[in-house]
Structure 1
Amino acid sequence: MMRSTQVVNFIHGINEGDAYMSRTKEKAGPHDVVVRARQAVIDRSDLEPPGVAFLYAAPGAMPTAVQFGQSVSTITLQFSKDTIPSWEWDAESGLYKRKQDNGEWDVDEAGNVLTAVNIIVQITPETTLFGNVKFVPKAETVGTGVGYVSTGGKTFPMVWSKTDRNAFTTYSFQDENPIRLAPGNTWIELVPTKGKFSTEPALR
């Protein structure tokens, strides 16, 4: 599936990917493969940069969620009965902080809590590869559906749309006016339609 896309693949054990891959003893397989991403980007500078994925509020203007959304301190996402991560709004830093299923902070290898400026929750139909529940779930991101965007401690409902697998996903109001984010990193959560999205306080 990855190899049939229109992007260049660097895959361990296949084609030119091995030149940029190594294994670390710090993790168990298959999660022990490390990629030299910076070098891959340098070596393939002939590739065109990707298009614009998001729209941002102009300098001095408010992002969509801040302007129209409701104040929300906690965003909880239920992917399955055992997978229920959440995001906590931290007003002091102006960032959302991610928690794992057990309520502990989700951290990187250095122990820093994972954070985001914008959170996009995309409610997405889900199938399983090979039609077997024992295999990896597959988010069906081509089509349209509902979702939520969170910025600056506020959350606002929106609509997502993707016309085909090569197109960028667009995020908009019900009237198709585009959603605008705040400058900074954005975390997209693909919550299955059988899952659950909830907030504290609850959205009205």
Structure 2
Amino acid sequence: MTGQRGTRRPGRVLTAVLCAVTAAGLYGCSDPGPREPSPTPTPSPATTPPSTTAPAPSTTAPAPAGRSPLTGLPTRPAPVVAVKIDNVPAARPHTGLGAADLVYVEQVEGGVTRLLAVYSSRLPELTGPVRSARESDISLLAPFGEPVLAYSGAQTALNPLLNAAPLHLVTETTAPGAFRRSPDRAAPHNLYVRPERALATDPSPENAQDIGFRFGSAPPGGTPVDTSTVRFPAARYTFTWSAADHAWRVAMDGREARATDSGPLTPETVVVQRVTIRPSDFQDRFGAVSPYTETTGSGTALVLRDGRSYEARWSRPTPDAGTTFTTPDGAPLAFAPGQTWVVLAPRG
């Protein structure tokens, strides 16, 4: 990788890039287990008390001035830094995830997952471990405008697509001062990025913008739940409602997920977005097929907030559009203000 910024192109070029049949893969890190549909919510025997979090004032319009379009919470306008994060057991516990506005869970080779953490409201001192980008990241980040993307590298065939995308690319090669290697972990699970330094490499950063999410009070109905589990071929996520935190505690592969700098991971909203995950035409260096996660289109979802689950529909009609979530009758479905995790789960 020699260039830091993908060339800004008209929307038709971006659409062509997003539709290209190319993928990248560097590591397949785990033996795959049986594929199972997900999620599996567990009903709670008691009704959860109403949220004490102050809702955003509207569920049908973008966040007003003074509130983040990514969290619905009061904040000053700030640009976006996205970081591709390793998530095999050797990469845990993570650093910096508690400060993310938004965390995406994506399937990669071998049925394991990686995370794409999006920062704007707060920038942690360090985040990681940082790993390689995938073709799916280009489409996933398109609604954010031209964010910084920090990652460890990519397959050679993917580099032209990354360079052509509306992303400010930051790697250890292009910005060595933004990264550090931890002496406490073995490579490749020891690379961390300083988000503030990564952002400083962008001469014209764009502030966070509306990506389709809405925040506010919960819709009527829903099903009380204690836990909900999402399964990938070789990874498992369980979200357990914590009334004390008024948030969901995250477990990965049966163990509580924690950040080294902030403790347990506790998103206020979890979205299980059921998507098509198809094989690409490319393989990683070990021969494993690189999957492609399709996030343009429409489908069903499960939204977890305030100790309840809500069946939903998601829609993203074009590659540069945001993703909207609605109730089955078409009303906007508001998220709880705070951190959101979006689990891009395989359709059942």
User: 1:36: which partner in 2?
Assistant: 194
Q: Structure 1: any 5+ residue segments left out of the alignment? A: 195-204
CA displacement at 1:40 relative to structure 2: 2.5
For residues 92-121 of structure 1, give each alpha carbon's deviation from its aligned partner in whole angstroms, at most 9, with x where no partner exists.
2211001121x2211112472211100111
Change in Cα spacing, 1:49 to 1:137, as seen in structure 2 (3 Å) is same
User: 2:335: which partner in 1?
Assistant: 181
The answer (yes or no) to whether the contact 1:6–1:166 under 8 Å persists in 2 is no
Distance in 1 (CA, whole Å) between partners of 2:200 and 2:269 is 28
2:302 pairs with 1:148:
yes
The one-letter code matched in structure 2 to 1:115 is: T
For residues 3-60 of structure 1, give each alpha carbon's deviation from its aligned partner in whole angstroms, at most 9, with x where no partner exists.
13212111232xx333422322222222222112112324536221131232111xxx
User: 72, 83, 87: which one pairs with 2:225?
Assistant: 72
Distance in 2 (CA, whole Å) between partners of 1:36 and 1:165 is 29
User: 1:200: which partner in 2?
Assistant: none
User: 2:244: which partner in 1?
Assistant: 92
The answer (yes or no) to whether the contact 2:168–2:202 under 8 Å persists in 1 is no
The TM-score with structure 2 as length reference comes to 0.49
Change in Cα spacing, 1:49 to 1:189, as seen in structure 2 (3 Å) is same
| TM alignment of 1:96-111, pairs within 5 A | 96-101=248-253, 103-110=254-261
Indicate the SS of the match to 1:115.
Answer: coil
The answer (yes or no) to whether the contact 1:106–1:113 under 8 Å persists in 2 is yes
Indicate the SS of the match to 1:38.
Answer: helix
The answer (yes or no) to whether the contact 2:280–2:290 under 8 Å persists in 1 is yes
| TM alignment of 1:1-204, pairs within 5 A | 1=135, 2=138, 3=162, 4-13=164-173, 16-44=174-202, 46-53=204-211, 54-57=213-216, 62-64=217-219, 67-80=220-233, 82-101=234-253, 103-110=254-261, 112-132=263-283, 134-194=288-348
**Percent of aligned positions with the same letter in both sequences?**
23
The answer (yes or no) to whether the contact 2:178–2:198 under 8 Å persists in 1 is yes
CA displacement at 1:161 relative to structure 2: 1.3
Relative contact order, higher structure (CA 8 A, sep 6+)? 2
User: 1:202: which partner in 2?
Assistant: none
For residues 112-149 of structure 1, give each alpha carbon's deviation from its aligned partner in whole angstroms, at most 9, with x where no partner exists.
22111001110010023435581343211111110011
Change in Cα spacing, 1:36 to 1:110, as seen in structure 2 (3 Å) is closer
Of the structure 1 ranges 148-157 and 1-10, higher mean CA displacement relative to structure 2 is found in 1-10
Q: Structure 2: any 5+ residue segments left out of the alignment? A: 1-134, 139-161
CA displacement at 1:152 relative to structure 2: 0.4
The TM-score with structure 1 as length reference comes to 0.80
Aligned CA RMSD, in angstroms, stands at: 2.1
Distance in 1 (CA, whole Å) between partners of 2:260 and 2:279 is 30
Q: In the comparison of the two structures, how many residue pairs are matched?
A: 184
The answer (yes or no) to whether the contact 2:272–2:342 under 8 Å persists in 1 is yes
